[in-house]
Structure formats: structure tokens, C-alpha cells
Amino acid sequence: MTKRVAVIGIGMTKFDEHWEKSLRDLSTEAGILAIKDAGVDGSSINALFIGNMSAGRFIGQEHLAPLATDQAGLNPIPATRCEAACASGALAFRKAYHSILSGEHEIVVAAGAEKMTDLKGTDAIATLMGAGDQEWESSIGLTFTGLYALIARAHMHMFGTTREQLAMVSVNNHKNAVHNEKAQFPKEITVDDVIKSPVIADPLRLLDCSPITDGAAAVVLASERIARNIAKQPVWILGSGQASDTLALHDRKSLVEMAATKVASRKAYEQAHMKPEDINLAEVHDCFSINEIISIEDLGFCEKGKGGKFVEEGKITIKGEKPINTTGGLKAIGHPVGATGIRQIVDIVRQLRGECGPIQIKGADNGLALNIGGSGATSIVHILGTEPEPITS
């Protein structure tokens, strides 16, 4: 049984509206890139886990895992689809990690893919709302923008978070995305642009919201034995945590925190023998601007209620105290829901390898990824580093 697991290969498509590519095209492209980057042959892959939220509703395709292995020429390895709404990618990564930790496998692909733009906007929004409580939320017309607007209003009321601070989240992430060729919207915006963009669910504007996107991402994980033998720059999994909360927002004890994120991050920090202040950079789930602010707080990067001020003071910028979403986040890179959790891992690995050019965080030797499902019913946190943690008995 291995006690250390590393990421040895990464790959992703451009996140965009891919009218000439199918879901199988996208997942195959990302997988091939990851396997090539790892420097392994397809025949050495022991298993595949793929994150996908709703291919059945988006494109009418279920049974996605064997489709992925079939198209990649990886049969007859075991293939498993993982679903946790927008956290499906991180769930696939966590299951791949555990399959190696258990000793069952040594080289595993974790992937995520979603093809969302084949549905018109209203149908895509209805499909996404399947991640909420159908009986108590979607059936009465609530959307995720509406749910997060309620969260935003509560945070503004309780802590004085401003409309401008929400906008600064989007501004920062778009600024970072300018240097990311894989991003759907690599263009800078201003606070004024955000505030003047159309209202979707007050106080959230269009430019507070992540877009509808097609894309796929994949990584290759390996046991310590394999990683040390073949990888030039292995990036080690230091900690992993997952937790759940109520599906419906109205059942939460608080609208201004995500309890699942607090629990999942605590588990990941404990496994990694780290504290929030030790984290060099983070990819957090900014499906809406308010979610980034709340995530910063719940991960322990600042006190509850001070996330807006943390953003306003520039602490999340590339040169700030805690660089957040250094490649653009969901807001600017795009959010193909099943792929996002894997994309976050890809971008942390790129940072830790020193491959990010103008948006490189100098001296970074660790990074955290937070992937959230729905309005916070699932939260998954991973911490990665350039050096493995010492094994303690």
C-alpha cells in the first residue's frame, strides 16, 4: 500500500463554445494530452475516473465512463463516472487518489468533461438547477443565480460587503485570465463594467456569473514508486477532504458560510499538516463572485465577514498575500461543470512546475483547490505540493 501519490501528467482543452467538437472529442483530447505529458503509454493506465454532472440532459449521453475509455483506446480497464454537481471533477480526482492509496492501482487517469452549449440558455440553466433541491427550489422557479443572490444579500446585510467588492472579484480573475490561452474570456474588465452589466438576480450582475462552457481536463496520478521513477516534476497530493451540507439553502444554519467547506478544508489541512497561512496560492470555486468571498473566509484565509475587505485590499492578486484564481477562475476561464475540479488541479500543477509565465507565483511550493457542488451541498478540498509530506505513523 502506497502512502504517497503524485500528479505526473496534465492536459486540458480550451474552455469555450465548441460547436465543432463533441463531448467525446473533448474528453479524448484532454486525456491524450495528460498521458503524453506524463510520458506513459496508454497500456500502463490501470483505471479511469471521470467527473460529469449531467451529460444525459446536456447531450443525451449516459454511461460516459466506458465511452471515455473506448474513445481513448483504454479498454478493458475499469472506468467510473463521478457525479457531485459542479464538484464532479474534484470527486473523480479524490476517487482516483484513493484507488492508488488503497494499493489497487498504480497509474490512474482522473478527468472531467462537460458539453453545455448544445442546449439553449434557459434549458442549460434548468439542467444546472438539478443540483439544487427540485421540490423546494427549482420547482418554484429559483435558479442558482437566485440562490447565490440571496447569499450575497445576507452577506452584505450582516457584514457590510459592498457591491464594488463583489465586482473586484471578477475584475481580478479576468485580469489573470488575460495570460491564460485556455480561458474562455481572456479580457480585462473594470468595476464599472461589472456594476453596469445586466442584472441577473439582484445584486448579482451578468459579470458576477461564470459562463456556460464546453471543455475537458485530465490528469494522470501515480504511486510514489512510479512517480519517482518516471516523473520529471511530480506534484504531490498532500491533503484531501470532502464534506456535505443540506441540499436546500433554506435548511442551512447560516446563509453566509458553507459549513461543508469548513469541514472539508479542516480535513485537508490536517492531512497535509498545514494551516491556512501556509498556503501559497488557491483555486477557489467562483461560480458567482460572492462564492469567492465566502470561500476565502471559510478556508481560513481571513475572518468571517472580512472577505470583501480582503479582496478590496488586493490580497488576492498575483502579488498579494494570498493569490486566488491566478489563471482566471471559473469566472473568466469558464465553467464546464464536470471539468472544473480537474482544471483547478491542472492549473495548480502548472503553477508548482513554474509554467505560468506572467501569472507565475514566484517561489510557490504548494497550492489549494476548492471545488463546490450546487450551493454548497458538496465541498471538496485538495492541497498539492512540490515535496511530499513526511510519513508519520
Digit-coded pLDDT (tens) for 360-371 = 999 999 999 999
Q: Report the alpha-carbon distance of residue 142 to residue 150 in Å, rounded.
A: 11
For 365, the grid coordinates are 511550493
Single pTM value for the model: 0.97
Residue 194: predicted pLDDT: 98
Residue 391: predicted pLDDT: 62
Q: Across residues 59-72, what is the average pLDDT?
A: 93
* Residues noted as catalytic: 86, 335
Mean pLDDT (the chain, rounded): 96
Residue 2: predicted pLDDT: 62
Residue 16: predicted pLDDT: 98
Model pLDDT for residues 331-348, shown as the tens digit of each residue: 999 999 999 999 999 999
Cα-atom radius of gyration of the chain, to the nearest Å? 19
Q: Does domain 5-120+212-230 have CATH number 3.40.640.10?
A: no
For 51, the grid coordinates are 467527473
Half-sphere exposure of 67 (CA within 13 A, CB side): 18
Model pLDDT for residues 118-150, shown as the tens digit of each residue: 988 788 888 888 888 888 988 888 899 999 999
> pLDDT at residue 1 above 70?
no
Residue 393: predicted pLDDT: 47
Residue 198: predicted pLDDT: 98
Residue 47: predicted pLDDT: 98
Please, what is the Cα angle at 125 between 324 and 246, to 5 degrees? 65
Residue ranges, comma separated, of all CATH 3.40.47.10 domains in the chain are 5-120+212-230, 139-210+238-385
Where would I find the beta strands (DSSP E) of 165-226?
199-201, 204-205, 214-223
Residue 170: predicted pLDDT: 98
Question: What is the CATH T-level fold of the domain 139-210+238-385, as seen in this structure?
Answer: Peroxisomal Thiolase; Chain A, domain 1 (3.40.47)
Q: Report the alpha-carbon distance of residue 337 to residue 341 in Å, rounded.
A: 8
Residue 124: predicted pLDDT: 87
The percent of residues in the chain predicted with pLDDT above 70, rounded, is: 98
Q: Across residues 74-98, what is the average pLDDT?
A: 97
Give residue 176's Cα distance to chain centre. 16
Model pLDDT for residues 49-60, shown as the tens digit of each residue: 999 999 999 999
Q: Across residues 177-206, what is the average pLDDT?
A: 98
Q: How confident is the model at residue 389 (pLDDT cuts 50, 70, 90)?
A: confident
What residue type is assigned to position 18 of the chain? H
Model pLDDT for residues 142-172, shown as the tens digit of each residue: 899 999 999 999 999 999 999 999 999 999 9
SS3 assignment, position 382:
strand
The percent of residues in the chain predicted with pLDDT above 90, rounded, is: 91
What residue type is assigned to position 4 of the chain? R
Q: Across residues 115-119, what is the average pLDDT?
A: 93
As beta bridge partners, residue 384 has 237, 367
Name, in order, each residue with C-beta under 8 angstroms of 283's C-beta and a sequence gap of 6 or more. Answer: 324, 325, 326, 327, 329, 344, 347, 348, 367, 368, 369, 370
